[in-house]
Each structure stands twice: as structure tokens, then as C-alpha cells.
Chains A and B, each alone.
Chain A
Amino acid sequence: MASALTIADVERIAALSQLELTADEKELFRRQLADILAYAEQVQAIDTSGVPATAHVHARESMERADEPRGSLPVTEALGNAPDAAPDAGLFRVPRVIG
């Protein structure tokens, strides 16, 4: 359960979150997340059988518009904030992905 959150749990969540944590951060978050989850566990005592979930308050039918092509951001501007771009090729560059 949450109150017994372990360092291994924190490492697992950090990996899912794409976060590389220091040892100090792992211990701090283990304690703080355990406190918060222990507090949040109170919702589990509420009888919600048959109660629908609210994901969104305006659950009306989805909005649609005509499927017409419109202008979009030019490639140079889309690349303008990239830490490592290859504007001539129109690409974002990243470190190696495989191997």
C-alpha cells in the first residue's frame, strides 16, 4: 500500500515518469508521496457503486468542424525552439535511439 512505499517503488515510478532522480530525491519523494497517498486513501471509503466517472464536466458530443485544409506553422518556425535542429533537412536531432 501507499503508506509502505519503498525506494524500489519510487524508482519504478521515476522510470515510468522519465525522471532520473538523485538518492536524496528518492528518499524525499518516498516519504512525501507516502504521506500524500495515505491522505488520498480516504476516498476509498466512499461508496461509489454505480456512480459514473467524471473525466470532463461538459460531456456533450464532440465538437466537429468541416475537414478543410488550413495554414500551419512553417517548418523553420516549428524548429525554431529546438535545442538541436537540422533546419535544412527539416528535422529535430536526438542522441542515438538504438544500441
Chain B
Amino acid sequence: MLERTARAIRDDIAAGRLSAVEVCRDSLERIEQLNPSLNAFNHVARDRALARAADVDRARASGGALGPLAGVPVALKDNLCVRGMRTTASSRILDTFVPPYDATVVRRLETAGAIIVGKTNCDEFAMGSSNENSAYGPVRNPWAVDRTPGGSSGGSAVAVASRSAAVALGSDTGGSIRQPASFCGVVGLKPTYGRVSRYGLIAFASSLDQIGPLARTASDAALMLEVLAGPDPCDSTASPQPVPDFTAALTGEIKGLRVGVPRGFVTDGVSEGVRRAFDEALDTLRREGASLVDVELPHARYAIPVYYLVATAEASSNLARYDGVRYGYRAAAGGNAGVKEMYSRTRDEGFGPEVKRRIMLGTYVLSAGYYDAFYLKAQQVRTLLRQDYDAAFEKVDVVAMPTSPTPPFRLGEKTDDPLQMYLADVFTVSANLAGLPAISVPCGFSDRLPIGLQLTGKLFDESTLLRVADAYQRITDWHTRAPGSA
């Protein structure tokens, strides 16, 4: 029954054709069956999920009001806090952490009736593009188990692709929702910065982080965003902008849509298979009445260095809180060791190599003598990149690029060369730096590996992205194919 969309599950439960407990059992069984091979979940919330599903069934039986996600099984990336549920960010340093409060998105999902089935594996503190930086081992791609599912929200993408959950939440700092969505053949939406509250998201880079949905259809992503979006007294960066009816935006109509294509940027390093799928997707949009317009993003080629300077600087500050005092792991300092030794030993033993690398890099670029040349410079180029997009959006409604320059790569292929791993994010980081919404939608296969089309929109214009992605899915069937290993 998890072939159904979230909307169909919700409707079937509301109409009494399915029980929430049945759906929940189905999801839990699927997770148990697949987790030994795919490793998508760090934690399965079996009893809690079944109890809450029973609540939904009881509410229905007694004629109570059901929320827009009543009975829908949802998987949460393990960097989202759920009160009383172990939340690790896939880091040894948070191995035993049990949050005393709910993230705002968790509260909103559960108020809407969603059933949280478990916490998904990810790169440690959401730092990575392959899910290989997890303290709990890599997640495997259900389309080819020797390949990465992408990262950092790899477990959430696999949960949705493998039909273990109807929908999932991820977080996206430089592509961490969209790239795994692309690698696993599902839809991933990074909303506008500020569209969704970050309260209760374990912070990585606070000016870039944004929570968003992964789903098999853009229509389900719209349903999720309606529940997630809106202001929050607990996050001053959560925008007071009105939240539109995203479902009403799904008209199936894209006649007259202007699609910007930065041809000069989508060049080197794009694999043949990705290029073919991308060009075919653009052709499909054109046949439906969209026009393709050349746009220039002259500073997009600097987005990777800018991103890795800004994100690591913010991370070095955010991760200073892990010191073995208030929560998480503390190293045995031993002997006559003082507090400083305890701090540094705790952090050395608690953090994995990529997290240490980024803390070090961020500390370096913020340090005296390098601040202006690296950090300030990166922030200025960030402004130029935003201006590139402002100019492009004078002419077009959305900008199209591949989500990833290549199909899913092999596990271990890039682990020895961090810089090569960073280059995998070439098409995704710009949206975070400019704060723009962006969506990845399945647009084909290369050697039986999924490819994603990325559409970037104007600030707070998720409606157009969802409308285009939904219209594209109405006339293509890439998203209906299920992976062989799942």
C-alpha cells in the first residue's frame, strides 16, 4: 500500500478504506526488511508510531477531525529533534542524545496527523554528499547497492524511494535534499530560506540551512510544504510571508512559462547521460508550451569555493557547542586532565574526519589575517551571485539545471579526495547562497541510475516550482518506477 502517494493514503484512511495501523505496520515491516541491506534508518520508532496510528484510527471511528497528513508514514532525517526520541545527526558525539523538545516541523507534522516511523541515516551533522560520513555506516542506493544514495539526506531519500515511508524530511545546506532525491529517483524540495522554521534542526550553517520534504510526487511535496511552512516565534528567521495554497497552484499548466537555461555554466564535468536526460526534459517542457531562454550566471562558477568558505565558517561556530559538558559524548580525560584537555579529547574522539576538516577550515578562514581574503571575500561574491539570479529572474520564471553533474557515484569513489566530493555540489549550492527555493524532479536514467532535473525559482515562489514539477510528472513516468533492490 506504500505504492500510494501520501494524498492517496490520507484519503483512503479518511474514507475508511485503510486503517492507519495497517499502513504503519506496512511501513515498519518494509523498514525492517530493507534496513540490513540499505541502512537508511538509524532508529525505528515502532511502538510510538503504532500508538499514534491507533490514535488516528480512533479519531476517525469517533468522527473526529483528521489532519491533512492523518496516518501518513513519515521518515525524519536524524538531525531533527523529537522529544524523547534519540537524535544523533549520525555523529558519535550525539550518540546518546535524547532531545527534551520537538522541532517545530515535528510538532507541525504530528498536529497534521503524520506518523513518524523513524529517524534516517545521514552524513554526520549533514556534512557530505554521499552519506559516507555517518558514524553508523553508509546508506546504500536501492537502484544499485554499490552506489551512494547521495547526501547528506541519503537515508530520507532511500526511505521514500524504497517505499518504506510515503514522504520524508531532509535538510538542505548545499544540496542535501535535492542531490539525494536526484540519486534515488524521487522529488526533493529546498524551500526558500525562511519559509520553514529551523527550530529543532541541529545547526550546520545557519544562513544556509533549510528543512524540506522528499516525496515521490511534487503534489505530495506541496502537501507537505503546506503543513511545514509559516512563521514561528522560536525562529526569528522563519518568514512572516503568507503561505500560499500550494495544492491550488498545481494546475498542470505551463504554457507561457519562461525557463532559463544557463548553457555557459552547464558544461564541463556533466556526464553524457545527465546531459541527454537534461536536454530531453527541457524538450518536454518546451513541447508543453514553455519557452527556453538563455541566461547567464557569471558567478555561478565560484559558488563551490564561496559555499565551502561560508558554510565551514558558520559550522566552526555552530559546532563549538559540542564540548562534553551539557549533552552528548564526553571523553574520559583521565588522571589530572583539566577542562581544556577534556574539551579537545572529546571533540577529537566524538567528531568524524569530515566534520573536523570543516571545523578546521572554517576556523582558518575566520582567523586573523585570513578573514578578509577568504570569509569576507566569499560573502561579497555571494552578493554578486544573488545579483546574477536577480538579473536572470527579470527574464525568466525558473532556472533549469541538472541537479547533479553525474549519476550516483560508487561508494568509496571520492572518500579520499574531499575536494572532488565538494565538486559534486556544483549545481546545488547556488540556491542556498542566494536563499532561493529549488526542486529536483526525476527526469530519466543513465545506465539504470536515476537522474534529476533541478528547477530554481524566485524567492518565496515555491508555487511555480511545484506547478512545473507536477505538470512534468503528469506527462512523464520516471517517478513511478521502483528500484530493483527495494
Contacts and interface: CB of A to CB of B under 8 A. Distances in A.
B299 interface: yes
Size range of the chain B interface in the assembly: 35 or more
Contact of A43 (B96, B327, B328, B378): B378
A28 B103 CA distance: 37
Task: Determine which residue in B323, B351, B357 has the highest number of CB atoms from chain A within 10 A of its CB, and name it.
Answer: B357
Contact of A16 (B236, B337, B367): B367
Contacts of A99: 338
Given A51-B383, A57-B435, A97 B207 contact: no
Nearest to A97: B339
A93 to B, nearest CB: 9
A54 B302 contact: no
A11 B19 CA distance: 59
A69 interface: no
Given A43-B309, A54-B386, A81-B326, A14 B360 contact: yes
A33 interface: yes
B308 A40 contact: yes
B339 A92 contact: no
Given A80-B98, A95-B337, A97-B339, A18 B320 contact: yes
Contacts of B309: 40, 43
A57 B434 contact: yes
Contact of B100 (A18, A55, A80): A80
Contacts of A41: 305
Interface residues of A, number: 51
B325 A58 contact: no
Contact of B360 (A19, A43, A52, A82): A19
A83 B357 contact: no
Given A46-B302, A83-B324, A96 B339 contact: yes
B299 A13 contact: no
Chain B residues touching A, majority SS:
helix
Contacts of A51: 380-381, 383-384
A25 interface: yes
B317 to A, nearest CB: 11
A81 B422 contact: no
Contacts of B233: 65
A77 B101 CA distance: 10
B361 to A, nearest CB: 6
B1 interface: no
A18 B383 contact: no
Contacts of A32: 357, 418-419
B374 interface: yes
Interface in A34-74: 35-37, 39-44, 46, 48, 51-58, 62-63, 65, 73
Interface string B298-313: 0100101110110000
Contacts of B330: 83-84
Contacts of B363: 13, 16-17
B348 A20 contact: yes
Task: Determine which residue in A16, A28, A65 has the highest number of CB atoms from chain B within 10 A of its CB, and name it.
Answer: A16
22 contacts: A10-B360, A13-B360, A19-B348, A21-B348, A21-B356, A22-B348, A29-B360, A32-B357, A33-B364, A36-B361, A36-B422, A43-B377, A53-B380, A54-B380, A56-B237, A57-B434, A65-B233, A81-B98, A81-B326, A81-B327, A83-B325, A94-B342
Given A43-B306, A83-B327, 20 more contacts: A16-B363, A18-B323, A19-B359, A29-B356, A32-B418, A33-B361, A35-B419, A36-B361, A37-B361, A43-B309, A44-B377, A46-B302, A57-B207, A83-B330, A92-B325, A94-B339, A94-B342, A95-B333, A95-B338, A95-B341
Interface of A: 10, 13-14, 16-22, 25, 28-29, 32-33, 35-37, 39-44, 46, 48, 51-58, 62-63, 65, 73, 77-78, 80-84, 92, 94-97, 99
